[in-house]
Structure 1
Amino acid sequence: MKSISAVVLSLLAVAAPVSAQQRVFPLYTEALPVCAVGTIVNLGDIDPLVMQAIEVDRRDTGGLFVYSGSPEYALEPAITYQDSFRAGDTVRVYVYHANRAPIPLRFSIVLEPLSGPAAVDKINNVITTPSRDYFGIGRLSAFIQLCRPTPPQPLRLNVDGPTILDKDLDAMVAIPGKPEFLIHTIHEFRVVSGAVRMSVVGVEADADTIQRLPSLKIADRDKNHDRATVNGLTREITAKAPYRTSDGPRHLRLQDGVGDPWMTGRDATLDREQNYRGAYGVVFKMKFRLESPDGRHVALLLNPRAGALTGAVVEESLWKTQTGGLKTVRSASHAPSIGQGLIKEKTEGVVLGKWNPAITPEVTVYWTPPATSSTPVEMILVPYTAP
């Protein structure tokens, strides 16, 4: 994998269109010994539906996750999501709305104090400009979310009255048009004292957000997309036993609602229970121990099962040193790499990592599905012979 600093330089690169004639990928058995992380390969005879599953333990950790993505297409100024939080709550808000209104819209997050003044620490954000390239900004957002460190000092906001959480988001305008411009941002904050009501809103481009808020109604959700507050910013998945190359390919399915359950919470705007299907914006932290009794190496492949995918991956490998100790090596990549287009077909896999178990006995892989992608997906561990 490339270093994080090296990959950051590629964020300004523009992915070249990939035509149907160009979408011929090498067979994984031929590609894995020589290919880079981020490469799309042909799975050949690998079929996760008839493959033995990796047995894992799962737990959701962290704070509260808010997904404001329904209605996905905003038809008019409105409140798209609203919930309340109290001191001690850490909240990550994923704003995902496209402007289908006949007028330019701005989207914003407003915090209002409940029962007296409150204090909020703004921890981090992922801001991309409104775009018609949904997969492009999904890929970029995932990379920034996984790779950018949390600032050492959060920004303190005193919430004595209605307060804009992020002025950069509040200033962005999504103009009308076809295809629609998408607002795709992620914001994280912590309530330090008091309690606040949070509203995600869409307003006219020339409106004062705070003055407009009291007159906005709550938008109806659409039937195909979720909005919810759920417990957990990270889903930690740990394999119960080491993966052995002599066992052949093994798979781990994510976000099918069965083997990997939906995150559960509530739609606070309707005060009802709600599943969060897809867990978009949630970080999947997957930990594997690796063994190679036959001397082969291991690759981790991401395989789509419901449509196109793009995103990023961060990998932490535990390496054996020459002195017999262990050190952690962290690296990041686009998945797929820029220039390859999207991974689309059930017969395709993108390489998320490659390891030699004799040197790297343990790996932790961080991956997050942008809301522009489709789930479920398969994670497949595959043995291969190194050159």
Structure 2
Amino acid sequence: MRRASLFAAGIFVGCMLGESQAQVLKPGQGEVILGARQGNVVELPGFLTEKIPFIDYEKVVLPGPQYIISDDPEYIRDPEAMALKEAVNPGSVRLYVYNVNGIKEPKEIDRKITAVIKNTGKSDMHIRMMKYSSQKPSSNYFQIGKQGLADYFASQGEEKIRTVKPGQVIAIDEQLEKNIVKYNELVHGFYEFVVDQPGEIAVVQTAPSTPGPEAFKKMKAVVSSRHSNAGRGLFGVSNYKVTANAVFDTKNGAAQIMLADGKQDPWIIGRDASTGQQARLAGNYGVMYDIELKWKSSDGKGLALLTWNSRSSDNKWCNGMAASMIVSQGLFKEGIVKLPSDRLTTKGAPEAIVVQVFPPAKDGGENTIRMTYSPPGASCLPTPLIFVPVDLK
């Protein structure tokens, strides 16, 4: 997730750019969009630009779980190391594990990267997994990031309730205990669970033969931050409600919702227990955005939702983008969409991804588009959501 740290944080809410101007499709490009399958890449030469007008929106913090992310250091260089340790209160918890086996000196060795929880309360802790995504370790970071989000969105959790005795330590995800992580492979785990006792959560790297709970008991200190990755710590924001401030009208041309750019949508702030200092989550990875846009069609046109890798020319880390999101029904059914669905990544302009196409209301009234978005791990940010009028006739 180091790519997100390349963009400076801002302090203002989304607004219309002064230099923006109406952006319309070139002749024949509407047909290209309508001829594509959902999630497919299309080429739109001369259309994609960062100067497409912004849609002004209101962003409200929603009640949500305590949020912990482990991504600093992203590459764990010590054979036996604790990358994160945070205390949680009884209630819901979201945990995002994004760490890589970085051992190459004096030689590359296999490791285990796992997450554990200790019951620090005085009574039995009961833990139930509500949603989760656990990927096989891989050096294909784009695939893990895209599939990890898709699996999280699709997860129905577990009915099983585990009991943890006071002072006991257990693995949060038993699959991580079984995985062997080779050098440069990423461990990507995304979990949401509830506990009824205070606890302590840690992410550790250890030998494949050593149980995570045993390794945790032997470790005292958390490894130092490298300050070049997304971040680590406990954060107070886990869910946002994003609502467009005005009804979008297709007669006004294309416009975009910009999220996870560090400017219109600033990075969330938390605290790293290992240092006692403020932490900034560059990228807002793991934060869930519930987005709503009301729209109408004064000119009878439909509305296509596109996204693209808008920072592909900025630096070497932005050569690909892969994501997943949930979008409401249009010409394609409602549900999870892998972006892109016909290849691993999209590179940059003139490539765009067709997320959904919405027909206008039959009576000329308003329709509502709903989306669930979370910044995709391993990809360069932001991932603009562009709404483009298209002629469906």
TM-score by length of 1: 0.83
CA shift in 2, pair 1:252/1:116, >3 Å: same
Question: Aligned partner of 1:168: which letter?
Answer: Q
Q: Which has the higher strand share?
A: 1
| CA deviation after TM superposition for structure 1 residue 103, in Å | 2.2
Q: How does 1:1-387 map to 2 (within 5 A)?
A: 28-61=29-62, 62-76=64-78, 77-88=80-91, 90-101=92-103, 102-119=108-125, 120-151=127-158, 153-160=159-166, 161-176=168-183, 180-192=184-196, 194-216=197-219, 217-225=221-229, 226-306=231-311, 307=318, 308-317=320-329, 330-338=334-342, 340-358=343-361, 361-387=367-393
CA shift in 2, pair 1:264/1:43, >3 Å: farther
Equivalent pair of 1:132/1:182 in contact (CA under 8 Å): yes
Match of 2:47, SS state, is coil
Question: Once structures 1 and 2 are overlaid, which stretch shifts more, 64-73 or 309-318?
Answer: 309-318
Runs of 4+ displaced beyond 4 Å:
none
| CA deviation after TM superposition for structure 1 residue 146, in Å | 1.5
Q: How many correspondences in the alignment?
A: 346
Question: Aligned partner of 2:74: which letter?
Answer: E
CA RMSD of aligned residues (A): 2.2
2:7 aligns with none
Match of 1:219, SS state, is coil
Equivalent pair of 1:48/1:378 in contact (CA under 8 Å): no
Q: Any unmatched runs of 5+ in structure 2?
A: 1-26, 312-317
TM-score by length of 2: 0.82
| CA deviation after TM superposition for structure 1 residue 262, in Å | 0.9
Match of 2:215, SS state, is helix
CA–CA separation in structure 1 for the residues paired with 2:111 and 2:68: 21
| CA deviation after TM superposition for structure 1 residue 231, in Å | 2.2
Match of 2:223, SS state, is coil
**Percent identity for Structure 1 against Structure 2:** 22
Question: Aligned partner of 1:187: which letter?
Answer: Y
Match of 2:84, SS state, is strand
CA–CA separation in structure 2 for the residues paired with 1:121 and 1:271: 29
CA–CA separation in structure 1 for the residues paired with 2:171 and 2:28: 51
Q: Any unmatched runs of 5+ in structure 1?
A: 1-25, 320-328
Match of 2:387, SS state, is strand
Equivalent pair of 1:317/1:362 in contact (CA under 8 Å): no
Question: Aligned partner of 1:96: which letter?
Answer: Y
Match of 2:139, SS state, is coil
CA–CA separation in structure 2 for the residues paired with 1:333 and 1:212: 39
